[in-house]
Structure 1
Amino acid sequence: MAVSKFLDNIEEYFCVWTMAIMTVIVFIQVVMRYVFSNSLSWSEELARFIFLWLSWIGASYAVKERSHFRVEMFANMIKEKSRIYFEYMILIVWFAFSFFLAWQGTMLLIFLQETGQESAAMRIPMTWPYASVPVGCALMCLRLLVEFYKLHKNGLPAPASPAAEIME
């Protein structure tokens, strides 16, 4: 799937670059504060906003990597034949929740746009940091649709052994 490959690269590069930029900003802030006894007024706020974007886009990328936290105790108690339906149910509920967050995040953006709320230090519209929620959740919905398709086409993935995860 060309869309999935494009999405993989965009999310991965975005996460790497935002983490690098955030690290540099925080490092400069620490140096300014402890070496020069003067801090930048905008650096902590910008780092927080970057972290928001990193978290929500990273959550979408984590769907592809199957690295979200999972409690498999219940799934392991279900018979193998019924387990695929359990996985379908999980994906559907997860999709519904992500869609709900994307929808409500969009409603929040509309509200913030109407009120004209700005950030305290940088004076940018608060729609920019809060836009991470609907964007990340919409990307997560796309990822979940891809996972649903893979589950339908390929069946259940092979269970990963704990030793294989340690070796990676």
Structure 2
Amino acid sequence: MAFLRKAFRGLFKALEWFAMICMVVLTVVVFCDVVLRYIFKQGFSWTQEIATLMLVWFSLIGMAIGVLEKIHISIEMFTSHLPEKVISIIVSIDHVLIAVFGGVMLYYGIVIMQMTKSSTLPATKMPSAVLYVILPISGLLILLNALLVAAKQEKKIFNEDETSGKENHNA
């Protein structure tokens, strides 16, 4: 179990780094494009496609991370006055619905990739499936993360010390 926990923690860190890299690339590409267009009156044709790709990838990986860290949007105004047992049932249903959503993303992401594999993006000439490859990956991660969070309900998946790189040896 410790090996699985360590492997999952490594995957989680890799996802965070991947999302950060996507955001940095997005920011640099858009900044350069704005400077080129407004100062030099010309730009590259591929910047919009790369920016779109990075935004989509960042958003969907961020969604998977949000499920794992339980930072997705929820409205507690309605549930805060309910009994603890009812809240527990609602939270369990929530995790099941998130897992189902991840499964739907996984399935239809593969379908969309199959439909777009023969077409190319106009400026970069990359296969259109490159834009959609993140759908099944993110769907699988959301599915797994929702199941993991449901199994560890009401507990943090990783202690704050573990996510910052310092192991918590007291646990």
Q: Same fold (TM over 0.5)?
A: yes
- Match for 1:122 among 113, 121, 124? 124
Runs of 4+ in structure 1 displaced over 4 angstroms? none
Q: 1:112 — aligned with what?
A: 116
Superposition CA RMSD, Å: 1.5
Q: Counterpart amino acid of 2:145?
A: R
The match for 1:29 is 33
Q: State yes or no: 1:50 paired with 2:75.
A: no
CA separation in 2, counterparts of 1:93 and 1:146? Answer: 14
Q: Give the alignment of 1:39-118 within 5 angstroms.
A: 39-113=43-117, 116-118=118-120
Percent of counterpart pairs with the same letter?
Answer: 26
1:13 maps onto 2:17 in alignment = yes
For the Cα contact (< 8 Å) 2:96–2:147, is it kept in 1? no
Larger helix proportion of the pair: 1
Normalised TM-score (structure 1): 0.85
1:3 aligns with 2:34: no
DSSP 3-state at the match of 1:74: coil
Q: Does 1:135 align with 2:137?
A: yes
Give the Å deviation of 1:78: 2.5
Kept in 1, the 8 Å contact 2:98–2:142? The answer is no
Contact kept? 2:105, 2:138, Cα under 8 Å: no
CA drift of 1:3 comes to 3.0
Give the whole-Å Cα distance in 1 for the aligned partners of 2:103 and 2:54.
22
| Secondary structure at the counterpart of residue 73 of structure 1 | coil
Write the deviation string for residues 130-165 of structure 1: whole angstroms up to 9, x where unpaired.
1111111111111111101101xxxx359xxxxxxx
Q: Render the CA deviation track for 1:60-95: whole Å, top value 9, x for unaligned.
A: 011122221111233224311232121111100111
Task: Give me the whole-angstrom Cα distance separating, in 2, the residues matched to 1:76 and 1:4.
Answer: 32
Give unpaired runs (5+ residues) of structure 2.
Answer: 157-171
- Aligned residue identity for 2:19: C
TM-score (norm 2): 0.83
Tell me the number of residue pairs that the alignment of Structure 1 and Structure 2 aligns: 152
Unaligned runs of 5+ in 1: 159-168
The one-letter amino acid paired with 1:126 is S
